[in-house]
Amino acid sequence: MNKIRSRLRYLILALPLLLTGCLEVDQFPGWLHGEYAGKEDQRHFQARFHGDRLAWSAAIQNRAMQQNEYNRANP
């Protein structure tokens, strides 16, 4: 009876070790394999300038010129 209890105790202790291999989960997110369910984001020139890329570029360059300290200090 004592031998059976000790073997049962060892079996119960070894059971979690035997089951750890069965719990394998995929480690990579779905978007890595191209499974993205979200919407495609618009570019800035598409959202605010109605698809006019040149107008968007001109606005960005104008903004950069206005933030330049050398251009603002010299009249």
User: Which sequence spans correspond to the domains of the chain?
Assistant: 51-75
Is residue 45 a contact partner of residue 51, using CB atoms and an 8 Å limit? Answer: yes
Is the full-model pTM beyond 0.85? Answer: no
CA nearest neighbour of 56 among 67, 41, 45, 40: 45
The CA-CA-CA angle for residues 73, 69, 60, to 5°, reads 125
2-18 pLDDT, tens digit each: 788 888 888 888 877 77
**Highest mean pLDDT pick, 14-18, 55-59, 65-69:** 55-59
pLDDT for the residue 52: 92
Q: What CA–CA distances, in Å, run from 50 to 43, 46, 64?
A: 10, 5, 21
**Neighbour tally for 59: CB within 10 Å:** 15
Q: Per-residue pLDDT for 54 more than 90?
A: yes
